Chain A
Amino acid sequence: MPQIFHPSMNTISRVTIFGAVFIVGALGWVAYAVVRSPYVTNAGVITQQPVPFSHKHHVSECGIDCRYCHTSVESSSFAGIPPTQTCMNCHSELWVQSSMLEPVRASFRTNKPLEWNRVHDLPDFVYFDHSIHIQKGVSCAECHGDVNQMPLTYRASPLQMEWCLNCHFHPETRVGSRDAVFGSRSDTEPRMANDSQTDWAAKYHVKSKTNCSVCHR
């Protein structure tokens, strides 16, 4: 009786069986990794801007508070991007000849706004509110990273739903004193995770909020 299968079938069947477990698994892992990679999330990728604004210089070196520019962060869903006017408060006196700042001066002259490229961009079906997070003691750095150490601004976190839920399931691990909200991460490190001094979550009535309609509506 002739052989039904060619000897190469041995190899093919081994590869198929192995493949079913490992290659498909690997493909799955690759897909898993790709959707979480900076390629997709843009985390850690510097966004080019019309003016190379340095948060590091303005916050760490000049000591300007976040709220000087992001004025509505405590009161509105949107933190606010400063109008050209805010830049010119200082730059009508400082670095008035700098060519880097020409777009800013041009905007002020022509009354045409600067067009920044969005660094932190949530999908349109997500409704995020800055003010309540600030009020509950979630520091800026918790999501935006150490902006005060960024010469050029990039997205520090992936901003994917999984990442949001990490905190929304266990908010008590991420909230701290309201007084330290606008500090950098290194300033506020002790209040995180293992701070046993105060139960900030209880103090601020922070509860896990995971209903869909909290963010989607």
Chain B
Amino acid sequence: MGHCHGKSNGLPSSPEQCAATGPRMWRSLEELAGDEALIKSIEGEFPSAIEQLTDLASRREFLRVMGASLALAGLSGCIRQPEEKIIPYARAPEQIVPGKPLYYATAMTHGGAGIGLLVESHMGRPVKVEGNPLHPAVPEIMRAANERAPASQMRFGATDAITQASVLSLYDPDRSQTVLRSGQIDTWESFFTQLRHQLEHFDATRGRGLRLLTETVVSPTLADQIQQLLAKYPAAAWHQYEAINDDNALLGARMAFGADVSPTYDFAKAEVILSLDDDFLGDGPMHLVYARQYAERRRQAAEGRMNRLYVVETSRTPTGAAADHRLPAGEHELISLLVAVARGLKLDLPETSLPAVQQPWVDAIVDDLGKARGRSIVLVGRNQPAFVHALADNLNAVLGNIGQTVSFRRPAAARVEVQQDSMRELARAMGAGEVEALIVLGGNPAYNAPADTKFADSLNKVRFSVHLSEYADETSALCTWHIPQSHYLESWGDTRAADGTVSIIQPLISPLYESKTAHDVVAALMGNPDAASHDIVFEYWRRQHEAAKTAGAFDAVWQKTLHDGAGAKTAAPVKNVSIANNLAAVLTVALVREAGANQSTNVQLVFRPDPSLWDGRYANNGWLQELPKPFTKLTWDNAALVGPDFASEQKISTGDVIELKANGIAIEIAAFVVPGHPSQTITLHLGHGRERAGRIGNRVGVDVYPLRASTGNWFAPIESIRNTGRSYTFATTQHHHLLEGRELVVAGTLDQLQANPDRPAFMHVGEEANPRDSLFPIWKQDGYQWGMVVDQSSCTGCNACVVACQAENNVPVVGRDEVLRGREMHWLRIDNYYDGEPSNPATYHQPMLCMHCEKAPCEIVCPVAATTHSAEGLNEMTYNRCVGTRYCSNNCPYKVRRFNFFDFNAELRHNPTMQLRPNPDVTVRSRGVMEKCTYCVQRINKARIESEKDGRSIRDGEVVTACQAACATEALTFGNLNDRSSAVAKSAASKLNYPVLGELNTRPRTTYLAVVKNPHPLLAKATDHGVS
């Protein structure tokens, strides 16, 4: 342990103290403090694996399993091959060629907007999701290379972790499979008989007492159907509610412009960005495009076009970690800072109190924004109150950004409304007994409606309630009828992107169960239970086409829209907006009220969507549950995230169960101390503690919705906080795979780079090793030589690559207990490194995957040559040879090899639904073999075969690894290092390129680009932001 820790177990007082004793970077507070217990527990490669032998019950289990595996290992060599069937079609469908995947364009609606996807289908089974680069919310991968390639070459776009994981939900055996009436199995026909009964009653009353509750409807067809329903029953009402909504931004826009508009940004033009709690790189309907535009400007350091990002935030987000200057703040402090900036830019606002230490911040931001008029963006997160949004809108107007970097359009939602109000009104009506029938299309309001609406209690007063959802969840349990909802990969439908572009959702597979879409249910409400979703959507657009009198046959337009995945010219026009005359007065009033309300400096709870589970709807997805969350690397759990200063003040440490009281309700949740978390707030992630999510998601983590009220529902002042004295063990992967405190992330500043572009001062990693100074064989370097470069400046730590790798390579889910033992199977992980004071350290993300070393330490220790070096530079792992000694993993300095301690994939083989999921191009590994990143060798082989059939060599951009294809910021580049013109060769030749642990002379194929930050000269020294 050559670690940076002082003599005592206390935190070091300054980074300089660290610098004096060794490497300055650290990965967790325990590591920084040199916690003996932690170090002991992680010194072994797989922590606490031995505990199974001491616990009697599990020891017996262990011996049983080991006995069985030994017996099988001995036998497997002698068994004759089993007889297998080969089953052709009776009548072959068009287009399907066995062995060749097909890609279909479709779209997924998430968070109130659509995202365009290309889904890979093998013999009718969707197995992998990629982005559709023709969709406005999806940036294209390897665009420069693709433009040189012939049109026949497939082009892909980026995706995020949630869309990547959506394919697993399709095959989830816990999905609802049948209509339920009060929990008993029933049929669609019987439901419709009952429904008709109700409708006859409503025919007489014009629909009084009929209420419809949906999530944000962005489907034009569904909106049209609902309008028809409301026309038929004029006294009925339609409500929309999602727990994570953009109410504040909408109210802010109404305040600022007097119009229902929502902003879209152009980060490609932005030189200075000020984000107040907006995680625009990781969240929101356009975040993939924003992340790309942001990262592209980031990489233009040499051209002098590098942008600068300021983030003030009340929690910890990937955007904050990417910032050049990040300020953790409480809500009040954040507003004061924005007001000070606005006053600095000559806006007429009342003065607010600002801590003196933040004055340099304000000066720097005012200086930068003032110099970048029309080339800057001020943006505010959805959790900030409406007037902060209005103030940011005002600032953008004053800076001349509107029309340049910020444009306003009609929101994508078919009916724009304040969802909190809508939900409150519905709950009131239900409580008052005014609602006779409630039709809930999607969503899970019994779980996630604001606590004070008492939605779940009121639901019992509704005589006839129907819930359409993918799972028989908390809301279904309280409704008279539950209708299973089709997954988007089984449904016909349509959706709009945030800019209004229409995509048709087309199914990749027939519904696996007796499920229905929202279109089917609304059609049934109109008295037509047998309508097909396809016909409803098709007819709607045919009518639109005829009404618009557009030239050309509709069939051709329909086919093209289906094929492209995005309707041509369907984006909403940019609206001209102007600041309302009374805005200054309105803002002043709001600010005075805010200052009054925030006199007490109580710590506040901050509610955030879970980075993986969102509002809880993805709780039964094993990939997302096991995905290590940014900063905490927490799996299978949520926690109360607290700042280090607050923690030491309150004597709380990670794992302490604390009792939090807010809104008169107390919950118990374990605390997690996160470096850089503000000390004025406690972050709680929504979406955990589900009771009826399914076998994966039930009772994972703690449900924090009970603390959330319908007013100001992103923050809640805590009434009390108490340490219960009990402790809890988190399944966090932050400490796994200890790297012995070596210097792994290299970071510097733009100034340092410009001062010496050929050899920046911070590029001093390791000694130049002579490739011949080695006992390892020298490999020939002809033909293709694959390699990867990871740009750490671009990586936002969003986890899309981790799930993409899991989906592509059939990487299993192991469960919380096994994660606690360090047995997670992810081939690709994202390590966090911190630099500087724990209260606000610089944070770096480092994607870590197999380095494919030229002099691979794993290869020489394998007794059976199961891991070998290929002529193209791959470090190959041959599962059928592996006998499971794990020597390779012991000898790997990067800790990227994973061992199948159990048959984690058993379900993939034995569960009839799960059997459909795996990628057929990759072996499903069994117990007892080592595995690791292969550089997606199946994709390399495919490209090699196709190129040789065409008699050419593989083009740059033709092989795209799964992680690379998912990455919105193009932080990962892969290709042939021998081709000097390839993107990867250019990156590898960059002055910022370095190998991790280069001093070991492993000569890795995966190399890294140093982080370059762009601090403001005024702040470069004043802050403790680590970029020394």
Q: How far is the CB of A62 from chain B (nearest CB, A)?
A: 20
Q: Knowing A125-B880, A132-B945 touch, does A117 contact B90 (C-beta < 8 A)?
A: no
Q: Which residues of A contact B878 (CB under 8 A)?
A: 212-213, 216
Interface stretch of the complex, out of A15-23, A53-61, A80-88, A164-172: A80-88
Cross-chain contact A216 with B91 (CB below 8 angstroms) = no
Name which residue of chain A comes closest to B938, CB basis.
A217
Distance A176 CA – B481 CA, assembled complex (angstroms): 68
Cross-chain contact A121 with B81 (CB below 8 angstroms) = yes
Interface stretch of the complex, out of B439-447, B536-544, B865-873: B865-873
Residue in contact with B923 in the complex, picked from A80, A83, A124, A214, CB distance below 8 Å: A124
Asked if B934 is at the interface of the complex by the 8 Å CB criterion, the answer is yes
Distance A108 CA – B91 CA, assembled complex (angstroms): 8
Asked if A111 is at the interface of the complex by the 8 Å CB criterion, the answer is yes
Cross-chain contact A123 with B97 (CB below 8 angstroms) = no
Cross-chain contact B98 with A111 (CB below 8 angstroms) = no
Interface residues of B in 922-944 (CB under 8 A from A): 922-924, 934, 937-938, 940-941
Interface residues of A in 131-185 (CB under 8 A from B): 131-132, 135-136
Cross-chain contact B89 with A113 (CB below 8 angstroms) = yes
Name which residue of chain B comes closest to A129, CB basis.
B945
Residue in contact with A116 in the complex, picked from B85, B100, B924, B948, CB distance below 8 Å: B85
Distance A116 CA – B872 CA, assembled complex (angstroms): 39
Q: Which residues of A contact B80 (CB under 8 A)?
A: 39-40, 42
Asked if A75 is at the interface of the complex by the 8 Å CB criterion, the answer is yes
Distance A205 CA – B924 CA, assembled complex (angstroms): 33
Binary per-residue interface labels of chain B (68-103) against chain A in the complex, 1 for a CB within 8 Å, 0 otherwise: 000000000000110111111111100001111000
Residue in contact with A72 in the complex, picked from B98, B879, B938, B949, CB distance below 8 Å: B98
Cross-chain contact B100 with A118 (CB below 8 angstroms) = no
Cross-chain contact B100 with A75 (CB below 8 angstroms) = yes
Asked if B605 is at the interface of the complex by the 8 Å CB criterion, the answer is no
Q: Which residues of B contact A40 (CB under 8 A)?
A: 80
Cross-chain contact B923 with A205 (CB below 8 angstroms) = no
Q: Knowing A78-B98, A112-B90 touch, does A118 contact B83 (C-beta < 8 A)?
A: yes
Cross-chain contact B876 with A213 (CB below 8 angstroms) = yes
Distance A84 CA – B871 CA, assembled complex (angstroms): 44
Q: Knowing A72-B98, A113-B89, A135-B949 touch, does A213 contact B923 (C-beta < 8 A)?
A: no
Cross-chain contact B98 with A83 (CB below 8 angstroms) = no
Q: Which residues of B contact A77 (CB under 8 A)?
A: 99-100
Distance A103 CA – B775 CA, assembled complex (angstroms): 65
Q: Which residues of B contact A80 (CB under 8 A)?
A: 88, 97-98
Distance A126 CA – B84 CA, assembled complex (angstroms): 15
Q: Knowing A117-B83, A205-B948, A217-B937 touch, does A76 contact B97 (C-beta < 8 A)?
A: yes
Distance A39 CA – B941 CA, assembled complex (angstroms): 33
Cross-chain contact B874 with A216 (CB below 8 angstroms) = no
Asked if A211 is at the interface of the complex by the 8 Å CB criterion, the answer is yes
Asked if A188 is at the interface of the complex by the 8 Å CB criterion, the answer is no
Name which residue of chain A comes closest to B123, CB basis.
A78
Cross-chain contact A72 with B87 (CB below 8 angstroms) = no
Cross-chain contact B90 with A213 (CB below 8 angstroms) = no
Cross-chain contact B85 with A211 (CB below 8 angstroms) = no
Asked if B999 is at the interface of the complex by the 8 Å CB criterion, the answer is no
Residue in contact with A211 in the complex, picked from B86, B89, B872, B924, CB distance below 8 Å: B872
A-B CB pair tally, cutoff 8 Å: 123
Cross-chain contact A111 with B90 (CB below 8 angstroms) = yes
Name which residue of chain A comes closest to B868, CB basis.
A212
Name which residue of chain B comes closest to A107, CB basis.
B90
Residue in contact with A135 in the complex, picked from B92, B937, B948, CB distance below 8 Å: B948
Residue in contact with A81 in the complex, picked from B88, B879, B945, CB distance below 8 Å: B88
Asked if B514 is at the interface of the complex by the 8 Å CB criterion, the answer is no
Cross-chain contact A117 with B81 (CB below 8 angstroms) = no
Q: Knowing A81-B86, A115-B87, A129-B945 touch, does A213 contact B97 (C-beta < 8 A)?
A: no
Name which residue of chain A comes closest to B83, CB basis.
A117
Cross-chain contact A84 with B91 (CB below 8 angstroms) = yes
Interface residues of B in 146-161 (CB under 8 A from A): none
Asked if A66 is at the interface of the complex by the 8 Å CB criterion, the answer is no
- The B contact surface, by secondary structure, is loop
Q: Which residues of A contact B945 (CB under 8 A)?
A: 129, 131-132
Q: Knowing A76-B97, A216-B878 touch, does A114 contact B948 (C-beta < 8 A)?
A: no
Q: How far is the CB of B228 from chain A (nearest CB, A)?
A: 38
Q: Knowing A116-B88, A121-B84, A212-B878 touch, does A72 contact B97 (C-beta < 8 A)?
A: yes
Cross-chain contact B921 with A211 (CB below 8 angstroms) = no
Residue in contact with B90 in the complex, picked from A108, A118, A123, A211, CB distance below 8 Å: A108
Q: Which residues of A contact B89 (CB under 8 A)?
A: 83-85, 113
Q: Which residues of B contact A42 (CB under 8 A)?
A: 80-81
Interface size on B, residues (CB 8 A): 39
Residue in contact with A217 in the complex, picked from B99, B100, B923, B951, CB distance below 8 Å: B923
Q: Which residues of B contact A129 (CB under 8 A)?
A: 941, 945
Cross-chain contact B86 with A127 (CB below 8 angstroms) = no
Q: Which residues of A contact B85 (CB under 8 A)?
A: 115-118
Q: Which residues of B contact A205 (CB under 8 A)?
A: 948, 951
Cross-chain contact B100 with A113 (CB below 8 angstroms) = no
Name which residue of chain B comes closest to A112, CB basis.
B90
Cross-chain contact A85 with B92 (CB below 8 angstroms) = yes
Cross-chain contact A76 with B84 (CB below 8 angstroms) = no
Q: Which residues of B contact A78 (CB under 8 A)?
A: 98-99
Q: Which residues of B contact A127 (CB under 8 A)?
A: 921, 938, 941
Distance A111 CA – B87 CA, assembled complex (angstroms): 12
Binary per-residue interface labels of chain B (543-579) against chain A in the complex, 1 for a CB within 8 Å, 0 otherwise: 0000000000000000000000000000000000000
Q: Which residues of A contact B91 (CB under 8 A)?
A: 83-85, 108, 111
Name which residue of chain B comes closest to A48, CB basis.
B83
Distance A114 CA – B90 CA, assembled complex (angstroms): 7
Q: Which residues of B contact A136 (CB under 8 A)?
A: 948
Q: Which residues of A contact B949 (CB under 8 A)?
A: 131-132, 135
Distance A81 CA – B84 CA, assembled complex (angstroms): 14
Cross-chain contact A84 with B90 (CB below 8 angstroms) = yes
Distance A121 CA – B938 CA, assembled complex (angstroms): 20
Distance A124 CA – B918 CA, assembled complex (angstroms): 13
Residue in contact with B87 in the complex, picked from A75, A85, A113, A212, CB distance below 8 Å: A113
Name which residue of chain A comes closest to B82, CB basis.
A121
Residue in contact with A213 in the complex, picked from B99, B870, B951, CB distance below 8 Å: B870
Q: Which residues of B contact A85 (CB under 8 A)?
A: 89-92
Cross-chain contact A217 with B84 (CB below 8 angstroms) = no
Cross-chain contact A76 with B100 (CB below 8 angstroms) = yes
Q: Which residues of B contact A114 (CB under 8 A)?
A: 87-88, 90
Cross-chain contact B88 with A211 (CB below 8 angstroms) = no
Cross-chain contact B88 with A84 (CB below 8 angstroms) = yes
Q: Which residues of A contact B92 (CB under 8 A)?
A: 83, 85
Q: How far is the CB of A78 from chain B (nearest CB, A)?
A: 3
Q: How far is the CB of B785 from chain A (nearest CB, A)?
A: 13
Distance A83 CA – B879 CA, assembled complex (angstroms): 34
Binary per-residue interface labels of chain B (871-909) against chain A in the complex, 1 for a CB within 8 Å, 0 otherwise: 110101011110000000000000000000000000000
Cross-chain contact B922 with A217 (CB below 8 angstroms) = yes
Q: How far is the CB of A156 from chain B (nearest CB, A)?
A: 16
Name which residue of chain A comes closest to B950, CB basis.
A135
Distance A150 CA – B333 CA, assembled complex (angstroms): 85
Cross-chain contact B98 with A123 (CB below 8 angstroms) = no
Distance A112 CA – B91 CA, assembled complex (angstroms): 9
Name which residue of chain B comes closest to A114, CB basis.
B88
Binary per-residue interface labels of chain B (835-872) against chain A in the complex, 1 for a CB within 8 Å, 0 otherwise: 00000000000000000000000000000000010111
A-B contact pairs, 10 of them (CB 8 A): A72-B97, A78-B99, A83-B90, A115-B86, A116-B86, A121-B81, A125-B879, A135-B949, A205-B951, A213-B941
15 extra interchain contacts, Cβ-Cβ under 8 A, other than A77-B100, A113-B89, A136-B948? A80-B98, A83-B89, A84-B91, A85-B91, A113-B88, A114-B87, A115-B86, A117-B83, A123-B880, A127-B938, A205-B951, A212-B868, A212-B870, A213-B876, A217-B921
Shortest Cβ-Cβ A-B pairs, 10 listed: A78-B99, A76-B99, A211-B870, A81-B88, A77-B99, A83-B89, A83-B92, A212-B878, A78-B98, A118-B84
Chain B residues close to A by CB (< 8 Å): 80-81, 83-92, 97-100, 868, 870-872, 874, 876, 878-881, 921-924, 934, 937-938, 940-941, 945, 948-949, 951
